[in-house]
Amino acid sequence: MNVAIIVLYLVAMVAIGLWAARRASTTEDYRVAGRRLGPFFYTGTMSAVVLGGASTVGGIGLGYTYGISGMWLVLAIAIGLLILSVVFAGRLTRLRIYTVSQMLGLRYGEGIASRVSSVVMLAYTLMLAVTSTSAYASIFSVLFPIDRTGAILLGGLIVVSYSVLGGMWSITLTDMMQFLFMTVGIFLSLLPFSLSAAGGWSGLTERLDATFFAVDSMGLQSIATMFVVYGFGMLIGQDIWQRVFTARSPGVARWGGLSAAVYVALYGVAGALIGTAAAAVLPVLESPDDAFAMMAQEHVPAGLGGVVLAAGVAAMMSTASGALIASATVARVDVVPLIKTLIGSGDESRPSLRGDRAYLLVFGVLVTLASILVSDVVTALTIAYDILVGGLLVAILGGLVWRRGNALGAAWSMVAGSVGVVIGMFAFGVMANAPIYIGLGVSAVVYVVVSLASGRTDDAVLEAWDRRLAAKEVN
């Protein structure tokens, strides 16, 4: 029964992609769903894209290890999304752009700042897509008689198919179905059955020691680093900004994003509770990340267990498809024109739906193959996240909040922050907390010092920026 539900779910994903393809008639439809999403669709798709396999399988695994304190990974994501939505989303929607690098080009003027950011952002979105695609193996290889490679090919085929067909419209509609499965699977099925299996709250307190119920058992330094890496990552990731651009108005982006942040926070608490219950009833698992699948298979009735497993697949697919279209968009809009300019051929390409589909298909194939070949994706994603935040955060947020910041300061802060992260990794290790703090600190100092020591941003650039931000808001 569980396998049948998963199969039906996968078939439905492709069917939705076929239907949604008819709605994507322009490049704006394909890249940002025509900028037409209302509150309900916006909240669902934003929730789905930020809650990936790390938030679902990993969040429950953290609950298995640390108890209630395991919620902080997902809560960091929720706080980052809340800040993005309330403080910045309204301004971003008024810019009418497609990528983070385009924002930097508008704010600082076209030049080295936007060029550097486009390369870093492409590397980040590609590694996020690879990591999310690799995660399919944890469920498909258990349910179906296939190995890791077959599991990745199966998941990749589904995601690439529906993404290529309808672009952001397909991804939005499949995200809504994934949002439904995640809600039913986690909140209405796995959480109550897990707590019941553990004997309720009283059963948990009897079986587990007090550290499982301390909110800081993970360690304050680890919690702080989660906020720095994942919370700040929410503020500047192309995959997240591209969803912001789908909102039909600044008001939808703000309030829909706020609603999504609340949902994400509740999801994090639910995952930690499920993991805590798993620690009580399955105390000898080989890996904490096995807690999700084991609880679904052993403590949720057949049928509903399939819905729970589909919720895990949904979380992985929503993040993978979001990262995939983000990487294709950055390559199409920012990186390829940059390469053509550097080699002197000029950029004579025009936006076209066929071209966007071709880019997404090529990147989908590359991501799927890379997922098969790359085994240590956690390390690769950590490097990408650290360089993203350490290198780009200051320049991006500085451009949004400090008018004195200029292109030279932004460019040098990106270089200095990225180099600081790399040096920190060599000195303290890739998985250490120190590299991200070193990168952010160096980047902030360089941004301020160089901006103050060099000329102001050209008045014409700032006037054009102000005109974009002053665009009339329609709620």
Which neighbouring-strand residues pair with 443?
A: none
The pLDDT of residue 136: 76
User: Can you tell me which residue has the tokens 């497609």?
Assistant: 98
The pLDDT of residue 116: 85
Summarize pLDDT for 436-446 with one digit per residue, the tens: 999 999 999 99
187 and 270 Cβ atoms separated by less than 8 Å: yes
* CA 211/CA 166 separation, integer angstroms: 48
* CA 47/CA 335 separation, integer angstroms: 28
In this prediction the pTM is 0.93
In the predicted model, is pLDDT for residue 301 greater than 70?
yes
Instruction: Report the candidate in 125, 160, 135 with the shortest Cα–Cα distance to residue 321.
Output: 160
87 and 461 Cβ atoms separated by less than 8 Å: no
Output DSSP code: residue 346: -
Output DSSP code: residue 145: S
In the predicted model, is pLDDT for residue 475 greater than 60?
no
Residue type, 52: G
The pLDDT of residue 470: 86
If DSSP states are collapsed to H, E and C, what string results for 292-331?
A: HHHHHHHHCCCCHHHHHHHHHHHHHHHHHHHHHHHHHHHH
- 55-94 in b/e form (b: 16+ CB < 10 A) is bbbbbbbbbbbbbbbbbbbbbbbbbbbbbbbeebbbbbbb
User: What is 205-238 written as a DSSP string?
Assistant: HHHS-GGGG-TTTT-HHHHHHHIIIIIHHHHH-H
The pLDDT of residue 341: 82
Output DSSP code: residue 52: -
Determine the average pLDDT of the residues in 170-196: 94
The pLDDT of residue 265: 98
Query: Higher-confidence residue: 135 or 363?
Result: 363
Summarize pLDDT for 204-246 with one digit per residue, the tens: 999 999 999 999 999 999 999 899 989 999 999 999 999 999 9
